[in-house]
Amino acid sequence: MDYILQLRKLIGTRPILLVGAAVLLVNQENQLLLMKRTDNDCWGFAGGAVEPGERVEDAAVRETFEETDLKLGEMELFGVFSGPELYYKYPNGDEVYNVIITYLSRILTPAPVRLNEEHSAWGWFSAGEIPADISPPMISTIEKFKQTFSNR
């Protein structure tokens, strides 16, 4: 995150293109792990910004561990999400156009998730039980998850 903070010192809150890496953690019942974010009080999945020179896959693993304390097994590409619907203005005024590379990873033995300053709650949700208050940049991914897992 140091890179983003340095960039923000130079350009302020103006829109930037932000490459993100995220992981959809799915248990044996095809439930998705979601965490309630403290910055916007919405639900989302593990993920964050890719640092300069970092492989996207490594960023996905790093962010997931930082946010959940869970170590990932195999990951498969779930989708790349971009476009005007991924524009987001953070509560602090920072503006971004997200490009989010999302992976799917199955958790065979779910463990408790460690909460930190980024999240206030967590839970496992089936495609039909996902809360309505999803963090805006994650809505496209959640919609694809619902379509993919609604009949499983």
The 10s digit of each residue's pLDDT in 64-120 is 998 888 888 899 999 999 999 999 998 899 999 999 999 999 987 666 677 778 888
From the centroid of its chain, how far is CA 93?
A: 20
CA distances (Å), origin 108, targets 62, 73, 87: 19, 9, 34
For residue 45, give every residue at least 6 positions away whose Cβ sits within 8 Å of its Cβ, in sequence order, or none: 22, 23, 24, 25, 32, 33, 34, 35, 138, 141
Strand partners, 79: 102
Mean pLDDT of 133-146: 95
Q: Of 123 and 73, which is predicted with more confidence?
A: 123
CA dihedral (100, 114, 117, 7) positive or negative = negative
Q: Which residues make beta-bridge pairs with 47?
A: 22
Q: For 55, left (φ over 0), alpha (ψ -120 to 50), or beta?
A: beta
Query: Domains, the chain, ranges and CATH?
Result: 2-149 (3.90.79.10)
Write down the pLDDT at residue 38.
86
pLDDT at 152: 66
How does residue 150 score in pLDDT terms, banded at 50, 70 and 90? confident
Tell me what pLDDT residue 1 has: 53
pLDDT for the residue numbered 74: 93
Block residue for tokens 């248990």 = 27
Looking at residue 117, its pLDDT comes to 81
Which phi and psi (to 5°) does residue 64 adopt? -65, -45
pLDDT digits (tens, 9 = 90+) for 5-50: 899 999 999 999 999 999 999 998 999 999 998 888 999 999 999 9
Tell me how long the chain is. 152
Res 3: pLDDT: 87
Supply the pLDDT for residue 99.
97
pLDDT at 82: 96
pTM of the model: 0.90
